[in-house]
Structures are given as structure tokens and as C-alpha cells.
Structure 1
Amino acid sequence: MTTMLMRWVVTLALCFAFMVPAVQAQESMPPIYYHVDGTGNQTVNNLVNKPRNEWRVLSGSNASFGYTDDVYWFQFELPEVNFDRVIHLPYPLLDRIDTYFVQSGEVIEQVRSGDQFEFSERPVNNRNFMIPVATQEAVTVFMRVETTSSMRVPISVWQPSELAGNEQAINMVTGMYFGLLLCMMAYNFFTYLTTRDYRFAIYSGYIIAIGLLMASLDGTGYQYLWSWFPWLQEKAINLFGALVFVLASLVASKILQTEIRSPLLHRGLQAIMVIAGLLFVASIFLPYATMISIVLIVAILASSFLIFTGIMLWRQGLNYARVYTIALSALLLAIIVNAIGYLGFLESFFVQRYLIMIGSAIEVMLLSLVLAIRYSEDRRERLAAEQRANARLEVKVKQRTGELEKVMRKLKEMNQKLEVKSNEDRLTKLYNRGMLDEDLPLEVRRARRTGYDIAVVMIDIDHFKEINDRYGHPVGDEILVELSRVLRVNFRRAGDRIYRYGGEEFVVLMPGAQELGCHDKVLTVTDAIRTHEFKTERGEVKLTVSVGMALLNTLPGHTSSKQLLEAADNALYQAKNAGRDQIRIARTLNEASEKP
């Protein structure tokens, strides 16, 4: 286990090393100018005509000003090109970013982003901030940045394809890192279940806290875990940072037996636990800006004391204190470097962002080794008087191996579930449009091969915009969810698949369907929808739907899956143009007819 994890950490470190050239493979940046808005009241119109000599020139493209209440404006020129571009800010902790694209003194487009908004509002679905450039022509970019976090604004411009390649490499390494944490957490937790040694349970909690802290710093947590919860995103670093030091102190006291070996150091660790616990509670109620400087200072002091504790017990001859000190130093020194960076004294974004990942990966692996050493020593002491120690040890090793295999199978199942989630519509839990794009060509080829027909049924809610305007979008979402349930109840024939095509449109694939039976089924469904009472927080709502149908064998020629879908869409528009609450069946690729 230890050898495998060591190889994993070495691989992770090598991946980080090879990522450095990739991170630098961006578009060459023009000079970046910045302006400090102490009041926060200035607008882009106030600054468009501000003389360039009244702006300050940024040294490089990585702005780092530490913690400040000021608003910062940035300005740079982008030349005319013949390809798309995207502005990349690989620092995911900025509260608000307002980007203005200006030509001839006029704002042609404004883009809003930042982690004070829900993740779904970002222009690009990424844990970092990505802002598409509004035009390929020459344009002046103004960026207004406001944050209670450290004012760090690393600006770069990329071609989307090159940025996607760079992000893929980073995502791969990030996935390896969190996979390592997950494996180690599961391994130690199942070891606890096997041995009932609570130190393994505490260590599993410690690994979880590190993972949550790293997910907060990296932006992965806001992207995947709490994207709907800006409040937690604002406070996550303080909360999880404090929790890390509560558990780190507890782990140190249990592994190093400070209560017995050094009561003075033990009281120091208890003090860290109390202070970190108070910081955790205070972070819930006090603003991020008030707490972050305190948390960073405590992090530096607590990290130093934890390392000092390990060194002192190492000098006393405690054999595993040496490994503990090396393990803890890898993480805590990385935390100290990061804390110094967030306070504005270090500008190496890459080193700060990924040094703590490498440090925590090494620390988790080595601390697990220390814990294993401690457990092994205790076990030998407990089993010294027992003659069958070797036999029992073999049984436990086999049990742990089986448990680890179960964990790996569960991880595989989790990956399969995540794959299913990627094919689901987030709101309705139906299949999404991407899944339809994959399924429809397969079904069309199967229908040609078997000779069976296939029907594509397109359903659109009548006057749905008026419902949203009258009752509000939350009620509209409730109706979409309930309509999805009604469709599931009614389309239950084997092989039928329901997709949310977009907005208020749904698509049903009916392999093997015949025209008459398909029409009768759709007629029954529309009647059921017409009579159904959609209960919402604003009361009951009644609605109707328009339906367009297309059957593969009904259409002439060698109809493709795309043409089949377009025919159903054309039939849907015929139904809507005929007054809605109608069913139309496509007879040609461009026309639809009413089924009596």
C-alpha cells in the first residue's frame, strides 16, 4: 500500500512539473494597467477617457496586492485577430469581476462573474474564471475586480482550444490528487472499522478536512460540491482551514502520545484545538474579510508549533516522530507559503496553488505510514503474550485487502454514477440533449437494420413564457419537474426514452412504434396533461402542449437522424402555428399533416 501511494505521489509531482510549460503556453500579453478605486463608486464611463499616464503599469500579468478593501480596475488592449479568444483568471476566490469590452469609447459588451454569484451564472463552466472576448477585432478590456479575499488577479489570454488542452492536463492532475485523498480516507476508515482503533477514524476526518480545504482553494468545491451555495463558498476557506487545524492537533496528540511524553506540548496542542474551534464558530457568523487575516496568522503559528512538537519528540528518540515531522513539514510549510502569498508577499501563483497539493499528498501518505507504524507497535505489544499472533495478523491483512478491493469497486461504481449524472438534465432528471444526440443515431441505424420503425415525438409547453412572466421562474421550474413526472408515468413502454431538449421542449424516442399506436399514445398523454392539475407554490396551474411527430419509415428517402429530428421539429411548429394544443405528424422533411 505504501509503495503504491509513493508511486502515486511521485507521478503527481512529475505531472505538476510537466504542467509548467503548458501553463505558460498562453497568448503573449500586452501591457496591463491598473487603477485603485478607493471609494468603489467609479464606473467604466468614468475611466474610459482617463489618460493612460494616470494609470499604473502592472509588473507582468500577475497582480497581487494582498488583502484590501479597495476596488481595482485593470485595462489592456487586445489586437485584431482571426480567431476567438478567452480571458483566463486562474484564481477562483474573487468575489466579483465586471469585464467591459470597449471600442471607440463605447462599451460593446459587459460580462459579470465572481464567486458571490451562483456557479451556474458563470459565462464558462469552469472552477477558474474564463471570460470570452466579445470580438475578434481590436478591443480595449476594462476589468473591475472587488473581493474580500486576497486581491490576486492573474490575467492571461488564450485561444479556446489551447486553453482546453491546458485545462485538461490540470484537471487530470487535480483528479489524481483528489483520488489519492479519497483512497486514503477510505483506506483509513475501513481500517478503523476493522481494528476499532479510533485514531484511524480521526485521521480519516483529517483527510476529509484537507480535501475540503483544497477544494475551496482550488475552486473544485464550488464547481462540484456547493455550486448553489455562495454563502459557503465565501466562508469555506476559513471554516475548513480552522477544521484542518483542530484535527491536525488531535492527530498529532494521538500519534505522538504527547499526553504521556510531553504534557507541556500536549497543552499547546490542546490550545491550538480550542483556538481553531473558536475560529470555526466565529467564521460562521463573522464576515470573511474580518476572519481571513486571523485564520492565516493562526495557521502560520499553529503550523510552526506542530512542526516544533514533532522535532522535540524526534530529539527525545521517538522513532516515528521523525517520519511525522517530515510528513507534517511537507504540508505545513506549503500552508505557510500560501498564507504568505495570500497576505501579498509572494507572487508565484503556480507554486502557491500546487505546492500545497503536492505537500498535502506527501503528508497524507507519510502520516498514514506513521499511523501504520504506531498501530504496528501497539499491536506487537498487545499480542506479545499471544502465541497465535502471526495467524491473526494474516487474517487481518486478508480482511483489509478485501475491504480495499470493495472500496475500489465502490469507487468504480461512483464513477459510473457520475457518468450517469453527466447524461441527466439537472432540473428534471430526464436524459439531456447531449444524450439524445448520442442515442438517436444509434436508434436510427438499429431501425434500418431490423426493419422496425422509430418515432420521434417533440413536445412543447404552450405559452410557457407567459407562465414564467406571471408566476415567476421558480414556479416554471416546478411545472417542468411535474411535467417530467407525468411523461415518465405515461411513456412506460419498453424502449421509450424521454429527454429534455431545452427550455420547455421535450423529446420522446419510441423505437418500434407504429403510426396509429404512437398517435393514440401521444393523444392520451396530451389529454392527461390537459386535465392534470400542476400544483405549485403559487397555486394550481393548468396547461396544454403542442406535439410534433416524425416516423422514420413514413418519411421519404434515406432520412438521417438529424433530418428525422428536424421533421419532428417542423411538425411541432405546424402544431403551434395551428393554434397550439395540437398534434402534427411529419409526412415530408419540410411539412407536417394533422392526424384525425
Structure 2
Amino acid sequence: MKRWSILISILLAAVLAYGTPVHAQEDMPPVYYHVDESGSASIESLIDKPPSYWQVVPGDGASFGYTSAVYWFYFELKASDHDRQLRVGYPLLDKIDAYFVQNGEVIDRIRTGDSYEFSQREVHSRNFILPVESHAATSVYLRVETTSSMRVPLSIWKPADLIADEQLLNTATGMYFGLLLCMAIYNFFSYVVTRDRRFAYYSGYIVAIGLLLAALDGTGYQYLWPWFEWLQYKAIPLFGSIVFILASLVASQILQTETRSPKLHRGLQGIMIAGGLSFIASLVLPYEMMISVILVVAILASSFLIVTGFTLWQQGLAYARIYTLALSVLLLAIIINAIGYLGFLDSFFIQRYLIMIGSAIEIMLLSLVLAIRFNEDRKERLMVEQRLNSRLEVKVKQRTAELEALMRKLKDMNQRLELKSNEDRLTRLYNRGVLDEDLPLEVRRARRTGYDIAVVMIDIDHFKKINDTLGHQAGDEVLVELARLLKVNFRRAGDRIYRYGGEEFVVLMPGAQELGCHDKVLTVTEVIRAHSFKTERGEVKLTVSVGMALLNSLPGHASSKQLLEAADNALYQAKHAGRNQIRIARSLKDVSEKP
């Protein structure tokens, strides 16, 4: 029961995280739309159209169900004194062309959508995030074309608030997929230990549910197959078909339909065949044809599974009640989800997250059913094992030890997942949050031991020029390659490298001495200067500016914050002196003129 309490607590925390509006978006102006049946309209032909040409988007968001038409959306952004970003909160739109217009002229255009490779997005997010480059009043036009449901939830954010909101959603989503991963691994290792095929089937079913939800949520395209547009296009019908097959297989195993009800067993076999045929059809037929089939099959298959559970419940099978409840929750989520896809429901929260919550509840309840069923079988085996000799008792103890080892492995895996959150997603270096934790600890250790500690802050010279001339993708490639060079060259025991933000990096060198530290940093800057950074847009040569601060070189009892500020001041002086420089801080305001 303790294990189930923990799992339920995780689920409730995820629900609260999804439903709690911590970071507020800006007020969204009225949004208008126009249906372009032929798909031939251009931005030039729409800019001067009168208000009567447009229709007001109904409800709290644009939701028009499945359609082959192209939709244009239009709204006016007022002038602002801060940066803004537009979020389109539905990750299954094929093509989005965003036009930003001022005084009748297009000043910026952004093209995105899940029919393009994920790396081409302006902001790497499962949602479509479009930066508004101008602070002035701007007319925004969106051309949207999709084979999925035409759902276009729009919102305007300050960048910091949007990042915080995305992080909150990513955390809750990560908890959901972490729950699925733990349950899948647990059941797989249970199969390894017990050789009970039900655990293997159920583990596969959990994985299939996870892949399907990752496709629906956009998480799969962001993290699992960002380079594979074809799979993103086919993911939902393919993974949905696999879910039907494995759900029927799990039901037949848990409910023992082959012996208890041959007719129901044949029905489950029919669902497996239908799932196999829909999987094959999804490989060759277009998404827009298969998605309607998948939605109908999903409702029919879930309904039959509930009928199967209810029938065996009436026959006296105790755990069939829990099974029926679990499938009822999932069926409700699927039905509401299908209604949303068809355009009859405007709640994007329900559309995007209800099926996650429903599937999490269903997975935990089915795990309980599987545990009950396994426990019953175990009791029967124990009655037989009581007649066996002591060698069988030893084997039971070995099995117990294996299960304990399994739980330790799961705990270790959770710890590794937690460590993953400390990495900068692009460079795989430690992020700034880890630096904020490490630096005070190292300063206290240096005070205690008498050793010195150096903070080296490195900034790429003229990095904005690289982004402007070669593009942000090339800039990202340069950052990744520079991170690799820093890891190769700062290999002294105790050295740690962090991505501080943008094109800035920080190297923490406990126990360093000024002369040796300076010589090492000088060597690294020469390596960087001589290195050719290869990108898809060509080779790039660059230099860096460096600011250094050593704890024992600063007057007074400097804190970790002051040490970092001293290094930052030294970096500023290096850049101010012409860049491609190294400066060492002697105080919080002054630095040495040492080259």
C-alpha cells in the first residue's frame, strides 16, 4: 500500500501542476479568422482587407475540427516596452506561416510546424513559440495548414514568464512520463524475475501508451525523434494501433478470457487483428484518412474492453471490478479527447492533458489488478511450495533479493534522471543553477582548508554576429563545439565547467594558483583561437574574452557572490579593452592589466 500511496501522490502533484496558473500570460487581443478553401490566398492580398472580411474566433480558442482548408488568423498587437513571444499551444499543426506587419509592410516572417525538422524552430519547445521582434504596434497574420485537428490556441507572453510556464508544464509532463517509465521498468524486471508473461505484455503496453502520449503532446518530436518528420506525421495512428493490440492482449491475460469466456476472448482477438491491420494501413495511407479510423476504433475497442471487464465482474471475478474502473477512466478521457479533436470542445487543457491523467490512473489501477492477480497465483504456488524441501525456500529468498536489487536499480535510475535536470540541454555542461549551488560550497571549503579557488568567466567575442550571419542553428553548433573544447582542456581534478548563459561559460578551479591558472587559461584561449568551428553553414573562427578572479587575491572576506561578480567585472574590462583578452580581478572594481 505504501508504494501505491507514493504513486497516487505523484499523480496528484502532476494534476495540481497542470491546473495551477502560476505565471500569467498577457491579455490576448481579439483574434479573427478567414477560411481559405483553395489555399491560394497570400499575405499581400489580406493586409488591406476590411474588418467585414474576417470572422471573430468563437469561444476561448480557435477549434474547427478536421478540415482540409487553410485557415488565416489575424490580430493586432499594441505597442509595448518589453519583448513579447507568441505561443501556439497545440503541437500537431503541420505548417504555420507567421507574418508580422507594420504600416502595410511585412517586417518579419517565421515558418514552423511539425512537418519541418524540429531543429528549424526559432525556440526549441514542443509548442510553437514565435518571437515578436518589434516593440511597436504590429499586425500579426498566421497561415495554418494541417491534417490534424485545426486547433490554434494563441497566447502572448513576456519571455521570462513563458519560460517559467513552459518549465512548469515540462516538469509536470516529466513526472507523468517518469511514472510511466518506472512502471514499465518495474513490470519488465518483474517479468525477468518471475518469467510471468503478463508483466512483459503490460510493460509493453505502458511503453506504447507513453509513445502515443508523447506523440500527442509533442514531447516525442522534441526529445525522441526530432529529425524524423515521417514518424511525427505517422506517430499517432501507428502507436495507437500498437496500444489496441497490447491492451487486448493484457486484458486476455489478466481476465483469463480464454478459459472464462471464449466469446469475449475471440472479440479481444478481433481487436488485435484490427489493430494489426490499422498499423499496416497507417504505414501507407495518409494521416488524415487514418486518424478518423483510429478515433473510432479507440472508442469501440475501449468500450468492448469495458464490456469484457463488466461481464467477468458479474461472473464473480473480484479484480474485474478494478479493471473495469480503470478502463472506464481511460475511455472517458478518450471520448472527451476525440470530441475535442473533432472541434466540439474548446478546452485545450482537457484536450492536451486529460488523456494523460486518465492513462496514468488506468496504468496504476491495472498495475494493482496485475499485482492482485500475481498475488493470488503466488498464494497457490506457496501451498505447493510448503511441501517442497529447504532448497525451494532458498530459491524464494533469492527471488526476494533480486526484487530488492530491482528496487535499488529503480532508485538509482531516478537519481540519474534527477541529475539530468542539472545539465544544460544544448551543451550537456552543468547549468547555472548547479553553479549557484557549487560555488558557495567551494568557497567555504577554501576558507576551511586555506587553499585558493579561481573563477574563470569566458565569453565568445562577437557571437551575435555569428547568429545574425549564419543563423541560430550554426550558433548552437559553435556553442556545442566550444563546450567540447573546454571539457577537453580543463581536465584537472576538481575543475568543473558550467554554461552561465547565452555564450558565457564559467570554469570553477578549486585549489588553483594564479600563475598556473593564468597559463592554463592562456593556453585554452590559444587553442580556441586556432580551432576551426565547423557548422552546416561553413567554418567559423572565433576568439574569447576571459575574466578571472581568485578568492585569496581579493581583499577582505569576499563571498561567493562577490567572487563571481569580480570575475564578471574582469570579463567586462577584457571586452572593453578590445576583446580577445584575459583580465584578472584584484578587487570588485579594479582588475590587473596583465595580458
Please report the TM-score for the alignment, with normalisation by the length of structure 1: 0.80
Cα distance between partner residues in 1 of 2:432 and 2:414: 25
What is the distance in 2 between the residues matched to 1:298 and 1:407?
Answer: 38
Specify the alignment match of 1:567 in structure 2.
Answer: 570
Greater displacement, 361-370 / 230-239 = 230-239
Q: Quote the residue 2:239 is aligned against.
A: 240
Supply the distance in 2 between the matched residues of 1:527 and 1:79 (Cα, whole angstroms).
Answer: 49
Counterpart residue type for residue 415 of structure 2: E
Deviation, 1:58, is 1.8
Structure 1 CA distance, aligned partners of 2:281 and 2:147? 17
User: Superposed, which structure 2 residues align to 1:61-80 within 5 Å?
Assistant: 61-80=60-79
Query: What code does the residue aligned with 1:419 have?
Result: S
Letter of the aligned partner of 2:408 in structure 1? K
Structure 1 distance, partners of 2:297, 2:197, is: 27
Deviation at 1:495, TM superposition (A): 3.5
1:405 to 392, 404, 407: 407
Query: CA 1:504/1:134 → structure 2, altered by over 3 Å: closer, same or farther?
Result: closer
SS in 2 for 1:40: coil
Give, in whole Å, the separation in 1 of the partners of 2:464 and 2:138: 36
Alpha-carbon RMSD across the aligned residues, in angstroms, is 4.6
Residue 409 of structure 1 aligns with an amino acid whose one-letter code is K
Pairs within 5 Å for 1:83-482: 85-134=84-133, 138-158=137-157, 170-387=169-386, 395=397, 398-399=400-401, 402-403=404-405, 405-420=407-422, 422=423, 424=424, 426-427=426-427, 429-431=428-430
Deviates more, 1:73-82 or 1:48-57: 73-82
Is the CA contact (8 Å cut-off) linking 1:444 and 1:561 kept in structure 2? Answer: no
Q: Deviations over 1:369-413 (max 9, x none)?
A: 222232233334444444269978985895476246314422432
Write the deviation string for residues 557-595 of structure 1: whole angstroms up to 9, x where unpaired: 98753342342464367576xxx7x87878897887575
User: Partners in 2 of 1:77 and 1:474 — Cα distance?
Assistant: 30
- Determine the structure 2 residue equivalent to 1:33: 32
SS at match of 2:323: helix
- Give CA-to-partner distance per residue, 1:238-271, whole Å, 9 cap, x none: 2221111111111112122222333333333223
Give the conservation status (yes or no) of the 8 Å contact 1:6–1:365. no
The answer to whether the 8 A contact 1:300-1:336 is kept is: yes
Secondary structure of 1:402's counterpart equals helix
Indicate if the aligned counterparts of 1:586 and 1:593 stay in contact, CA closer than 8 A.
Answer: no
Secondary structure at the residue paired with 2:343?
coil
For residues 166 and 508 of structure 1, the distance between their equivalents in structure 2, rounded to whole angstroms, comes to 30
For residues 525 and 129 of structure 1, what CA distance do their matches in structure 2 show?
38
What CA distance in whole angstroms lies between the structure 2 residues aligned with 1:27 and 1:506? 33
Per mean C-alpha deviation after superposition, the further-off stretch among 57-66 and 474-483 is 474-483
TM-score, normalization by structure 2: 0.80
Gap runs ≥5 in structure 2: none
AA aligned opposite 2:179: L
Q: Which amino acid aligns with 1:238?
A: P
Q: Supply the AA of the counterpart residue of 1:347.
A: D
Cα distance between partner residues in 2 of 1:17 and 1:207:
23
Distance 1:432 1:157, change over 3 A: closer
SS in structure 2 opposite 1:92?
A: coil
CA deviation profile, 1:420-472 (whole Å, cap 9, x unmatched): 4x2x4634x44566766776677678778877665566778899999999999
Structure 1 counterpart of 2:47 = 48
SS of residue matched to 1:107: strand
Give the drift of 1:220. Answer: 2.7
Shift of 1:30: 3.9
Q: Cα gap change, 1:46/1:388 in structure 2, threshold over 3 Å: closer, same or farther? A: farther
User: Is the 2:497–2:506 contact (alpha carbons within 8 Å) kept by the matching residues of 1?
Assistant: yes
Deviates more, 1:157-166 or 1:226-235: 157-166
Note closer, same or farther for the CA distance 1:387–1:459 as it changes in structure 2 (3 Å cut): closer
| Contact 1:459 1:572 (8 Å CA) reproduced | no
Work out whether 1:494 is the aligned partner of 2:497. Answer: no
Deviations 1:486-520 (CA, angstroms, capped at 9, x unpaired): 55444333333445678887665544444543454
| Letter of the 2:353 counterpart | Y
Q: Percent identity?
A: 60
CA distance in 1, matches of 2:408, 2:248: 31
| TM-aligned CA deviation for residue 53 of structure 1 | 0.9
Give 1:162 shift. 6.0
User: What displacement does 1:34 show?
Assistant: 0.8
CA distance in 2, matches of 1:25, 1:573: 38
Secondary structure at 1:347's aligned position in 2? Answer: coil
Contact 2:583 2:593 in 1 (8 A): yes
CA distance in 2, matches of 1:208, 1:386: 34
In structure 1, what residue type is equivalent to 2:417? N
Distance 1:46 1:89 in 2: 24
Work out whether residues 100 and 143 of structure 1, in 8 Å CA contact, stay in contact via their aligned partners in 2. yes
Partners of 1:266 and 1:339 in 2: CA distance: 27
- Distance, in Å, in 2 between the alignment partners of 1:196 and 1:401 is 13
Shift of 1:152: 0.9
Over 3 Å counting, the alpha-carbon distance change for 1:222 and 1:590 in structure 2 is farther
Superposition deviation, residue 202 in structure 1: 0.9
Distance 1:196 1:128, change over 3 A: same
Q: What secondary structure sits across from 1:65 in the alignment?
A: strand
